[in-house]
Amino acid sequence: MKKDIILAGVGGQGILSIAAIIGTAAVSSGIYVKQAEVHGMSQRGGDVQSNLRLSSAPIASDLIPFGKADMIISVEPMESLRYLPYLSPEAWLITNTTPFINIPNYPEVENVMAEVRKVKNHIVLDADQMATEAGSARSANMVILGAASPFLDIAMEVLEKAIRSTFGRKGEEVVNMNLNALRIGRQLADAQMTN
Amino acid sequence: MQKLVLLGDEAIAQAAIDAGISGIYAYPGTPSTEITEYIQHSKEAAAKGIRACWTANEKTAMETALGMSYAGKRTMVCMKHVGLNVAADPFINSAITGANGGLLIVSADDPSMHSSQNEQDSRFYGKFALVPILEPSNQQEAYDMVRYGFDLSEHFRLPVMLRITTRLAHSRSGVETRPQREQNAVSLPTNLRQFVLLPAIARKQYKNLLSQQQALISESESTGFNIFIEGTDKSKGIITTGLAYNYLMENFADRKVPYAIVKIGQYPLPINMIEKLANECDEILVMEEGMPLVEEHLAGLLHRGIKVRGRLDGTLPRDGELNPNIVAVALGFADTRGEEIPAIVASRPPSLCVGCPHTDSYIALNEAMESYSKGRVFADIGCYTLAALPPLQSINSCVDMGASITMAKGAADAGLVPAVAVIGDSTFTHSGMTGLLDAVIHKAPITVLILDNSTTGMTGGQSSEAFGRLKDIVTGLGVEPEHIRILKPLRKNHAENVQAISEELNYDGVSVIIPTRECIQTLNKRLREKFKNKK
Ligand SMILES: Cc1ncc(C[n+]2csc(CCOP(=O)(O)OP(=O)(O)O)c2C)c(N)n1
Ligand code: SF4
């Protein structure tokens, strides 16, 4: 098993919790993990990314080589495009459609989505809205994780357990909110793939 | 043995706890900050009574650690690479005094300048000081090298440098820990003049340091952090340092490289291993995460010996961090770069947080400066440096911590009056106070804004030594009380803040304006915690 994942977003959007949950789930399944993250300067509303590598064999590099990523998981549509040079031709791009507009020259959202749709394998979803409708507006990142889950080679139960252990300290309510978000994201991905 | 998933920084911190340190001293700086934070948050470390202190700057951190080493205990100092410039004086001299208790200096380099103003390579400092350097290639090695580094330091009675880079510091993977050991008891150096660097003593100590170099090289040949890996294809031999080894391996799916490799993780360089490589191979390709230190060493000024390739001949880029693709190209493999980034993707530079107090301070400053020609605002390093970019575009310099006040004074001396300095509270206590004293003594016509957000914001909200003391410090340095103005940077106070700044710009002497309002991030964090405790 080998999964090289680029997580993308804007500082403060919670990509590191997605990474932490996948990482915890992988480690509990005896899979090797390397995860490079960005700290410091780029957190102030700038673009952030994390390289998450999972493998059944020991991993050499902390960084994913160009053209070798198996998926891009993005909580922001324009940010998902920033890492296309890393994506392998058969890989998946899973992205939120809600833009995070904090720059004056943000492109037209339709144009961004048109570029996203040029990627052969993609799942697009309005995670912010789905999370809000499900009553957990702050769990959009977990909706995205749910949408990416079919491609992770990690069982849903294991991801759910990782969510429980990650958010356990914050109480049952928070855990359930995040589990719920994970499941609706998963359902949507399953539906888009069968279409 | 326990297996933990840790950041490189966290692995170093846990290793230091397990190795029996008694204190860690540091000034925050990306990518080194998480080392000290890990120990500060560790219950284990608290139970063991380990001192985990932020210091005013890297120099005071280094000297405090040297004092702890003098007293026989193990201690670690952590800083980002440019911090070592600030700590260079005690660092270089600590090689002459030597250590007593184990002394490990962690310097975190930032090739590609992810969040720094240069990409200097700390190994040059280590070589310059003639101390051993350890350079891990992964999180496990980082853990192991800390334990070994303390042993090495106590064996040779020398400070030891651990050099890391951003990718290792901020990347996680599994780490196996080792049994913890006790701290040292207090014990003074056997020679009570060891730390007295009077010339007569220093000369002796320096000769002693030089005489240890051969033994340090032997150590480098035998510890296992430098290894020679045999190869079958003799057309090339490869030397890697630090993370470069991983990028090399990434290019061979079965991890079998046809070329002989010397993997470097410890300095001084293992001469025998390198000599063997040079004898066996037609040329040597040096892959260094950082500046071409090893390459320059091997090539020599006149390139008359063996053919050496690397960053100097263009086989690898001269600047920036390495990655698997750069290494692939250097090996003659195809670049696997995928689709290009679509042209519509706009860059998204970092910006001040919504509601940041600095924004209000700058809007007021911009208005007060409207009546003067542009280019008079010397700033410093911190969140407030982001005001160089649109929309604020308020500042004209950012060089090194503390340089705002001193550069403003220099410019004022040259006739640029008024000249303005903008400096953060933490940067002010780091290196601004001495410069302000210069300005006061010479009655320089400068206006200094100390932006007091009660924290060290840029690096994630560490405590600031200036907290609650700024006015007293400034008064103590001799700024006239009537020219010390405390403002509250809020939109509703805009007019009166502009007025106050304008008045001080007109004063022919040193004025200090202190806009005071807490960083939004630390404020929110504090409120959340308060709320949680109440629930
Ligand atoms: C010598 C040196 N040490 C550390 C750093 C890292 N660093 C950059 S800005 C900063 C903190 C600035 O804090 P403050 O002056 O209070 O400004 P704020 O970010 O809170 O606005 C630090 C620690 C550095 N650039 N140079
Ligand atoms: S972290 Fe604090 S000081 Fe820095 S930009 Fe945000 S609010 Fe301002």
Average pLDDT (B383-394) is 95
Any domain includes A104: no
Q: Which atom of ligand 2 is nearest to the CA of B383?
A: 4
Which residue CA neighbors atom 6 of ligand 1 most closely? B29
d(CA B154, nearest CA chain A) in Å: 32
Please give the pLDDT value at position A41: 57
Neighbours of B299 (CB within 10 A): 21
The reply to whether residue B349 touches residue A46, judged by beta carbons under 8 angstroms, is yes
User: Which DSSP state fits A77?
Assistant: H
Of A10, A60, A78, nearest to B345 by CB-CB distance is A78
Question: Mean pLDDT across the stretch B267-282?
Answer: 98
What is the count of residue pairs from A and B with beta carbons less than 8 Å apart? 150
Segment 3-62 of chain A within 8 Å of chain B by CB? 10-11, 23-24, 27, 32-47, 59-62
Nearest Cα neighbor of B132 from B69, B219, B20 is B219
Ligand at shortest distance from the CA of B517: 2
Which alpha helices (DSSP H) does B123-239 contain, by range?
Answer: 123-129, 139-156, 166-169, 199-211, 213-222
CATH topology for the B3-185+194-211 domain: Rossmann fold (3.40.50)
Residue A112 is assigned to a structural domain of this protein = no
Nearest to A40 among B115, B335, B339 (CB): B115
| Ligand 1, atom 20: closest residue by C-alpha | B457
Interfacial A residues in 107-146 facing B (CB < 8 Å):
107, 111-112, 115, 119
Average pLDDT over residues B470-490: 98
User: Which of A39, A45, A111 lies at the smallest CB-CB distance from B350?
Assistant: A45
Cα atoms found within 13 Å of the Cα of residue B245, Cβ hemisphere only: 21
Question: What pLDDT score was predicted for residue B262?
Answer: 98
DSSP B397-449: B--STTHHHHHHHHHHHTT--SEEEEEEHHHIIIIIHHHHHHHHHTT--EEEE
Mark yes or no for CB contact A47/B348 under 8 Å.
yes
- Residue A178's nearest CA partner among A154, A150, A143, A149 is A143
The CATH number of residue A47's host domain is 3.40.920.10
User: What is the tally of helices (H) and strands (E) in chain B?
Assistant: 22, 19
Atom number, ligand 2, closest to the C-alpha of residue B355: 7
Average pLDDT, integer, range B301-328? 95
**Span A30-48, pLDDT tens digits:** 999 999 988 765 567 889 9
Q: In this predicted model, what pLDDT tens digit does every residue of B159-215 receive, in sequence order?
A: 999 999 999 999 999 999 999 999 999 999 999 999 999 999 999 999 999 999 999
Does B1 have pLDDT greater than 50? no
Question: Residue A39 sits in which domain range?
Answer: 2-98+118-194
The ligand whose atoms approach the alpha carbon of B84 most closely is 1
Does A109 map to a domain?
A: no
Token representation of residue A111:
């144009």
Q: Cα dist. A170→A163, A175, B212, B532 in Å?
A: 11, 7, 55, 10
Per the structure, how many domains does chain A have? 1
Report whether CATH 3.40.50.620 matches the domain B227-330: no
Indicate whether B23 pLDDT > 50.
yes
Which ligand approaches the C-alpha of residue B352 most closely? 2
Q: Is position A56 within any domain? A: yes
Provide the percentage of residues in chain B whose pLDDT is more than 70.
99
Residues of chain B with CATH 3.40.50.920: 227-330
Q: How far is the CA of B425 from the centre of ligand 1 (A)?
A: 9
CA A39 / ligand 2 centre spacing (Å): 15
pLDDT digits (tens, 9 = 90+) for B433-478: 999 999 999 999 999 999 999 999 999 999 999 999 999 999 999 9
Whether A88 maps to a domain, the answer reads yes
What is the per-residue pLDDT for A51? 97
Q: Is the pLDDT of residue B114 over 70?
A: yes
CATH fourth-level superfamily of B357-522: Thiamin diphosphate (ThDP)-binding fold, Pyr/PP domains (3.40.50.970)
- Cβ atoms B154, B101 nearer than 8 A: yes
Determine contact, residues B338/A89, Cβ cutoff 8 Å: yes
Nearest CA in chain A to B325: A65
Nearest chain B residue (CA) to A50: B171
Residues of chain A falling short of pLDDT 70: 40-43
Pairwise CA distance, residues B5 & A189, whole Å: 30
User: Are A45 and B324 an interchain contact pair (Cβ–Cβ within 8 Å)?
Assistant: no
CB contact under 8 A, B339 and A87: yes
Pinpoint the residues of chain B covered by CATH 3.40.50.970: 3-185+194-211, 357-522
Q: Is residue A106 part of a domain?
A: no
